[in-house]
Copies of this chain bind each other. A is one copy, B any other.
Amino acid sequence: MSQPLRLGIAGLGTVGVGVVRIIRQHAELLTARSGRDISISAVSARSKNKDRGIPLDAYAWEDDPVALATRDDVDVFVELMGGSDGPAKAATEAALAAGKHVITANKALLALHGQALAEQAEAANLSLRYEAAVAGGIPVVKALTEGLAANEITRVMGVMNGSCNYILTRMEDSGLNYQDIFAEADGLGYLEADPQLDVGGIDAAHKLAILASIAFGTRVNFDAIDLEGIERVSIEDITAAADMGYKIKLLGVAQMTGRGLEQRMQPCLVPASSPLGQLQGGTNMVVLEGHAVEQVVLRGPGAGEGPTASAVMADVMDIARGFALPVFGQPAHTLKDAKHATSVLPAPYYLRMGLVDKPGALAKITTVLGDAGVSIDRMRQYGHAQTSAPVLIVTHKATRADIDAAIAAMEGTGVLTSAPVALRIEEV
């Protein structure tokens, strides 16, 4: 039997407590499977005296996570505090400088500083692992870096923020609008202290940036993501999309195009009958597509104590088993700076607009679309609401530029009663 693997855990919130609990309650199982005892040397959090529902006296206490990260009796520093900068970053750097492996659940840290941290870790032959940072309990980092390691990845997609998916599916079920359901979710404690991280798509975009780097061998580039949150998704669009056989999801998509890497995190339509379309509530889903494997879909809890701790512990087990691989699946110094492409790939679009109730109004719109090179696949006109007739259009594949040009031209026709909504339909 090898030496025990000794952890120092900074952060004893939802995830940290979950990790301590697994180590306390399943010690034998972990040893049977990894061949080593897994022990905790020291822990850190802000307040020493908070009751966290688990006994902590067996572990040394450090007020300062940097001090924890560099202790002699720590082999692996486990960062579960959060925040892209501040103590999480400082302690991670200190741990690597002191020759410790690092495990983190912190997508913000990796999305913003992943390249530098990966270079630091790899230069010192250390592991920096983050299974819990992407899609919580779903072992998607492992699936992509290892399970699909022989694939040229063609596309990665995911619904990776449970709060947003909860809001969107609740809107559909209840018929209530965004503001009402946002308030409900907030009241239930489903949203981050800064809800913009959730509903603005930032948290999900952090995860997408990480997956894109692994998938395409590129440097993580959060700023290159076309980012739009769910705040402007209206109940009218959810209902109309459902009518046409679609669901609206906050969908992340990363895809390599002839003109560079396209990364999008925005509300999209997906077929209601697809696995993504059927995803309800807070569950996450990631779709991985590769030249050989075709398509693999992973579904599971994206957050919560048990699932997130499960993922952190998978990283612990890998380190205990002696597995070492580059942070993003290939050495950080070989990762390329991807050219940033925006909306290169054409797609069908969903358009919704209100038209004045006059003969010829619809003809003007279809003419404008035709002139912009956008052809119509399906169209539906609803019974007139007062003087405005809502119209839904599903286009054939078009570029975003053509759609935008068409919308600009529509504004000039004088037949619109409301600004057109245009949402991409992702083919899944």
Report A's interface with B, CB cutoff 8 A.
18, 22, 26, 29-30, 32-35, 131, 137-139, 142-143, 146-152, 217, 273, 275, 278, 290-301, 304, 306-307, 309-311, 313-314, 316-318, 321-325, 329-331, 334
Q: List 23 A-B contacts (CB under 8 A).
A: A22-B150, A26-B291, A32-B217, A33-B149, A33-B330, A137-B292, A137-B293, A137-B296, A139-B146, A143-B147, A148-B314, A149-B318, A151-B310, A275-B299, A291-B306, A292-B309, A292-B313, A293-B306, A294-B307, A296-B298, A322-B322, A322-B324, A323-B323
Instruction: Known A275-B275, A317-B150; judge A294-B33 contact (CB<8 A).
Output: no
Pair B142/A143 contact, Cβ less than 8 Å: yes
CA distance A333 to B34 in the complex (A): 14
Pair A313/B150 contact, Cβ less than 8 Å: yes
Pair A146/B292 contact, Cβ less than 8 Å: no
Pair B22/A146 contact, Cβ less than 8 Å: no
- For A317, the chain B residues whose CB sits under 8 A away are 146, 149-150
Q: How far is the CB of A293 from chain B (nearest CB, A)?
A: 4
Q: How far is the CB of A172 from chain B (nearest CB, A)?
A: 15
Instruction: Known A142-B143, A306-B293, A307-B292; judge A313-B149 contact (CB<8 A).
Output: yes
- For A307, the chain B residues whose CB sits under 8 A away are 292-294
Pair B292/A18 contact, Cβ less than 8 Å: yes
Residue of B nearest to A139 (CB): B147
CA distance A26 to B153 in the complex (A): 12
Residue of B nearest to A140 (CB): B147
Pair B148/A310 contact, Cβ less than 8 Å: yes
Instruction: Known A147-B131, A300-B294; judge A26-B310 contact (CB<8 A).
Output: no
A interface, over-half SS = mixed
Pair B310/A301 contact, Cβ less than 8 Å: no
- For A313, the chain B residues whose CB sits under 8 A away are 149-150, 292
- For A291, the chain B residues whose CB sits under 8 A away are 26, 306
Pair A293/B298 contact, Cβ less than 8 Å: no
- For A142, the chain B residues whose CB sits under 8 A away are 139, 142-143, 146-147
- For A29, the chain B residues whose CB sits under 8 A away are 150, 152
Instruction: Known A146-B318, A150-B316, A297-B300; judge A292-B329 contact (CB<8 A).
Output: no
Residue of B nearest to A23 (CB): B150
- For A295, the chain B residues whose CB sits under 8 A away are 300-301
- For A139, the chain B residues whose CB sits under 8 A away are 142-143, 146-148, 296
- Give the contacting residue for A32; candidates B33, B321, B322, B330; CB below 8 A: B330
CA distance A32 to B214 in the complex (A): 12
- For A321, the chain B residues whose CB sits under 8 A away are 323-325
CA distance A148 to B334 in the complex (A): 30
CA distance A41 to B295 in the complex (A): 31
Pair A292/B310 contact, Cβ less than 8 Å: yes
Q: Which 10 pairs between the two chains have the least Cβ-Cβ distance?
A: A139-B147, A150-B313, A296-B300, A292-B310, A293-B310, A292-B306, A149-B317, A297-B299, A137-B293, A32-B330
Residue of B nearest to A287 (CB): B299
Residue of B nearest to A294 (CB): B301
Q: How far is the CB of A301 from chain B (nearest CB, A)?
A: 5
- Give the contacting residue for A146; candidates B273, B278, B298, B314; CB below 8 A: B314
